[in-house]
Amino acid sequence: MDGGEDSATVRGQDTGTAAPPAVAQQPPLTGRVHYLLGGTLPPTYNAWISRDLTGPGWRMRQAARPFVLMLPFAVIFALLPGGAVVRAATVAFLLVAGAGLGFATSGFFRNRRLEQHGFPPVFPPHDEEDDE
């Protein structure tokens, strides 16, 4: 006898959380930069966040974040005085290390970002102390 309303609406909850929109609303450029740097986006972008963290290609996007964050440092080291070989090796090391760390930590940081935005983690946390 709720007049055809969804039970979530009757309880006073937001109807947007019950059914995500078919098209994910993409945050503006400033929001994406904030998100790239580890910030939390408003719930209106939850569908976009979910697609970003669980959709196809999520590992490449997660691995690209440290690589992109390492680019300004690579440019600075490339512009410092010194031998061209030393500068090139330093830049290559920074970029390869950024990409390697991105791939190595992508699952951990994906879970952290999912929990940060109110989603359940994909992989359950693993405690080393429980194995003993």
Instruction: Report the sign of the C-alpha dihedral through residues 35, 38, 39, 43, in that order.
Output: positive
* Residue linked to tokens 């946390």: 125
Does residue 13 lie in a domain region? Answer: no
Q: What is the pTM of this model?
A: 0.62
Residue 62 has phi, psi (to 5 degrees) of -70, -40
- Which residues have CB under 8 Å from 83's CB, separation 6+? none
Does residue 5 lie in a domain region? Answer: no
Domains in the chain, number: 1
Does residue 81 lie in a domain region? Answer: yes
Which two structure tokens, joined as six digits, stand for 54? 């669980």
Full residue range of the structural domain in which residue 66 is found: 21-124
Does residue 76 lie in a domain region? Answer: yes
For residue range 58-67, list pLDDT tens digits in order.
899 888 888 8
Does residue 11 lie in a domain region? Answer: no
Does residue 129 lie in a domain region? Answer: no
For residue range 77-123, list pLDDT tens digits in order.
999 998 999 999 999 999 999 999 999 988 888 888 888 888 888 87
Q: How far is CA 56 from the centre of its chain?
A: 13
For residue range 5-43, list pLDDT tens digits in order.
444 444 444 444 444 445 678 899 999 888 888 888 898
**H-only helix segments in 29-83:** 29-36, 46-54, 58-79
Does residue 65 lie in a domain region? Answer: yes
Greater model confidence, 3 or 67? 67
The radius of gyration of the chain from alpha carbons, rounded to an integer in Å, stands at 21
